[in-house]
Amino acid sequence: MKKDIALILKSVREYKIYAIFTPIFMIVESAIECLMPLFMSRLLGVVDEGNTIALANGISLAEAIDTNKLILFICLMVGGAILSLAAGILGGIFAARASTGMAKNLRMDLYKKVQSFSFSNIDKFSASSLVTRMTTDISTVQMAFQMTIRMVVRAPLMMIFSVIFAFVAGGQMAWIFIGLIPVIALGFIIIMILAMPTFRRVFKRYDAMNESVEENVSGIRVVKSYVREEYEKEKFKTASDNIAKEFIKAERIVVWTNPILNFAIHASNVLICAIGSYLIIGAIGQDNSPLTIPQLSALQTYGVQILMSLMFVSMIFVMLIMALEAIKRISEVLKEEPTILNPENPIMEVSDGSINFDHVSFKYSLEAEKNALEGLNITIKSGEFVGIIGSTGSGKTSLVNLISRLYDVSEGNVIVGGHNVKDYDLITLRDAVSVVLQKNVLFSGTIADNLRWGNLHATDEEILKAAKTAQADEFVQTFPKKYDTYIEQGGSNVSGGQKQRLCIARALLKQPKILVLDDSTSAVDTKTDKLIRESLRKDIPNTTKIVIAQRISSIEDADKIIVMENGKINQIGTHAELLKSNKIYQEVYNTQVRKGGN
């Protein structure tokens, strides 16, 4: 836990100066605030003294009073008020700078970290939980940090100063506070201990709600098309009701703080007044009164200050405990090591598109019971056209993900262009192996912007050529703004088939040595699908093409077809061979031919 906090505090960086100065300003503010009642008491003392002299000598108060002393204390009070105001404002500004600055750095650090994550790192956290950690959790930490640097020195100092000055101004009577402090502190601590577990539960529930909101909003189209709004609303209502319930429980305990504090203030006032009056009345007529009225008023003010600072201390405590949960979750991400890193002396060029799977087995996580892939041996020559077919969950996507090292193998080796994929520079490898993922997305921006993801410096001609090969140009030309057409977030304003073709064009712009299409033409009509394959053969003859497909027609003219079953290779062969001897292939073929021959 200590390490987690230290890790988070590291992100203060260039805002350290603000974080250091905030408490200093707060010390100045609280010191002055504590001096004020003393000055006030002394000022009243001067008036009191003048009064006594005036009465004794039968002169007016104006003549009897020590004007110099009077002016001195008035000036001290005015000066103190201005200084305390300035220190308070500066402290507030500095605290805001330090905490927002820290939150900014922390967000950047997290973002950078997430960018370095491999697919398996992301699997571990889930994308929505990463979002919660980067938003809600950071805000919690930011608030706690701001409050802490303002209060962590101020509140205890206030308390210590107030106690000291209470003795200076009020003498022995200050012992009353010393007696009261532990009692009230104990009260607050009991409240915190009771409320804490409930607050923790509130945060857990928040997490659950955030995740469900995110899932629902990003999947809102599916929700609507399945008319699940009522169900989703009900689900959300339960989640938010639960939060309210837990909050009420926690607050029911916390509401005791203020009344207890008020009660303590009144009690200490009554005590001080009672004992004070007793002392003052008892001393009437004597020369040496153990307590004067100005002292009594100062004592009361210090009493309030001591109790207020006690409350602030307990508030910091609550904030910190709330923040600890967030800190833990953020540092979990910061501490996570990317599972896929660049090797030490990376190979900077992929010589050709040949691929070799040598006894490859793979599982998604160490805890996974079953291998997703087992004992694969595949040899693919550079420039070949390879089809992969197999039922859902048979391991097709897992297989191709190993080629560009989106995941690392658990056993065996994947060789690309004659070298183990682990020896390549990651960027070099991923530029050479262009994968159109099954769940591919477009980003908000124009079509041209999106295609340039493949190659930032692509010329208009290159874009046009790639789009033509992917059979995308034909529909882009029908848009009024053509390649400047704006794509909404997630590509929601183009059809599924159009999106797939744009994704293929984007992959082509990398001019890869290996092109992988993972079910990338599933939403494209058969005719266009055929045109894409023909143009790929014609336009990029030297690029190895790996096509995962559901339709036999998409791969029947491949040089070789891999039939996957249950994470293993069932058979490798050409269309004709498989049709003759492979049961799975025959079955798929028969159902598809019967359905209408697509």
Ligand X SMILES: Nc1ncnc2c1ncn2[C@@H]1O[C@H](COP(=O)(O)OP(=O)(O)O)[C@@H](O)[C@H]1O
Residue 210: name its binding partner from Mg ion, ligand X, none (Cβ under 5 to 8 Å by kind): none
Give the shortest CB-450-to-Mg ion separation in angstroms: 23
Query: What are the φ and ψ backbone dihedral angles of 412, each rounded to 5 degrees?
Result: 85, -170
The stretch near ligand X (CB under 6 A) out of 46-54, 320-328, 396-404, 484-492 is 396-404
Contact residues for 371 (Cβ-Cβ < 8 A; gap 6+): 361, 362, 363, 410, 567
User: HEC states along 163-177?
Assistant: HHHHHHHHHHHHHHH
Residue 76 or 403 having the CB closest to Mg ion: 403
Pairing of strands 419-420, 486-487: unpaired
Give the shortest CB-319-to-ligand X separation in angstroms: 37
The 352-371 contact track toward ligand X, x by CB under 6 A, reads ------------x-------
Site membership for Mg ion, residue 268 (CB under 5 A): no
Residue 79: name its binding partner from ligand X, Mg ion, none (Cβ under 5 to 8 Å by kind): none
Residue 394: name its binding partner from ligand X, Mg ion, none (Cβ under 5 to 8 Å by kind): ligand X
The 426-465 contact track toward Mg ion, x by CB under 5 A, reads ------------x---------------------------
Task: Name the 3-class secondary structure at 412.
Answer: strand
The rounded distance, in Å, linking the Cα atoms of 163 and 167 is: 6
The rounded distance, in Å, linking the Cα atoms of 272 and 278 is: 10
Number of residues lying near ligand X (CB under 6 A): 11
Task: Name the 3-class secondary structure at 569.
Answer: strand
Q: Which of 118, 297, 309, 394 binds ligand X (CB under 6 A)?
A: 394
The stretch near ligand X (CB under 6 A) out of 126-134, 269-277, 388-396, 499-507 is 388-396
Q: Which of residues 414-443 bind ligand X (CB under 6 A)?
A: none
Site membership for Mg ion, residue 397 (CB under 5 A): yes
Residue 512: name its binding partner from ligand X, Mg ion, none (Cβ under 5 to 8 Å by kind): none
Give the shortest CB-529-to-Mg ion separation in angstroms: 17
Give the shortest CB-548-to-Mg ion separation in angstroms: 7
Residue 242 or 438 having the CB closest to Mg ion: 438
Picking from 424, 414, 398, 473, the residue whose alpha carbon sits closest to that of residue 119 is 398
Pairing of strands 433-436, 514-518: parallel
Beta bridge partners of 445: 487
Residue 218 or 438 having the CB closest to Mg ion: 438
Q: Strand (E) positions, 431-585?
A: 433-436, 445-446, 486-487, 514-518, 544-548, 560-565, 568-573
Residue 314: name its binding partner from Mg ion, ligand X, none (Cβ under 5 to 8 Å by kind): none
Contact 101, 14 (CB under 8 A): yes
The rounded distance, in Å, linking the Cα atoms of 256 and 264 is: 12
Site membership for ligand X, residue 412 (CB under 6 A): no
Site membership for ligand X, residue 390 (CB under 6 A): yes
Residues of 402-437 as b/e, b for ≥16 C-beta within 10 angstroms?
Answer: bbbbbbbbbebebbbbeebbbebbbeebbbbbbbbb
Site membership for ligand X, residue 393 (CB under 6 A): yes
Contact residues for 30 (Cβ-Cβ < 8 A; gap 6+): 154, 157, 158, 161
The 256-295 contact track toward ligand X, x by CB under 6 A, reads ----------------------------------------
Site membership for ligand X, residue 123 (CB under 6 A): yes
Number of residues lying near Mg ion (CB under 5 A): 2
Residues of 304-338 as b/e, b for ≥16 C-beta within 10 angstroms?
Answer: bbbbbbbbbbbbbebbbebbbbbbebbbebbebee
With CB atoms as reference, the residue minimizing the distance to Mg ion is 397
Site membership for ligand X, residue 345 (CB under 6 A): no
The stretch near ligand X (CB under 6 A) out of 229-237, 386-394, 426-434, 496-504 is 386-394
Q: How far is CA 141 from CA 11, 106, 127, 134, 435, in A?
A: 12, 10, 21, 11, 39
Residue 572: name its binding partner from ligand X, Mg ion, none (Cβ under 5 to 8 Å by kind): none
| The dihedral formed by the CA atoms of 18, 24, 28 and 31, expressed in degrees to the nearest 10 | 140
Residue 345 or 392 having the CB closest to ligand X: 392
Give the shortest CB-518-to-ligand X separation in angstroms: 7
Residue 521: name its binding partner from ligand X, Mg ion, none (Cβ under 5 to 8 Å by kind): none
Picking from 523, 514, 461, 533, the residue whose alpha carbon sits closest to that of residue 494 is 523
Residue 110 or 558 having the CB closest to Mg ion: 558
Residue 236: name its binding partner from Mg ion, ligand X, none (Cβ under 5 to 8 Å by kind): none
Picking from 412, 418, 383, 388, the residue whose alpha carbon sits closest to that of residue 400 is 388
Beta bridge partners of 193: none
Residue 517 structure tokens: 């299409």
Residue 406 or 467 having the CB closest to ligand X: 406
Give the shortest CB-406-to-ligand X separation in angstroms: 10
Contact 374, 361 (CB under 8 A): yes
The 144-173 contact track toward ligand X, x by CB under 6 A, reads ------------------------------
Site membership for Mg ion, residue 521 (CB under 5 A): no
Give the shortest CB-398-to-ligand X separation in angstroms: 3
Site membership for ligand X, residue 396 (CB under 6 A): yes
Residue 395: name its binding partner from Mg ion, ligand X, none (Cβ under 5 to 8 Å by kind): ligand X
Residue 77 structure tokens: 């009070």
Give the shortest CB-570-to-ligand X separation in angstroms: 12
Burial class (CB in 10 A: 0-12, 13-18, 19+), 57: exposed
The stretch near ligand X (CB under 6 A) out of 265-273, 335-343, 392-400, 575-583 is 392-400
Site membership for ligand X, residue 121 (CB under 6 A): no
Site membership for ligand X, residue 398 (CB under 6 A): yes
The rounded distance, in Å, linking the Cα atoms of 418 and 351 is: 8
The rounded distance, in Å, linking the Cα atoms of 544 and 64 is: 106
Residue 69 or 568 having the CB closest to ligand X: 568
Task: Name the 3-class secondary structure at 41.
Answer: helix
The rounded distance, in Å, linking the Cα atoms of 24 and 57 is: 49
Interface residue list for Mg ion (CB under 5 A): 397, 438
Interface residue list for ligand X (CB under 6 A): 123, 364, 372, 390, 392-398
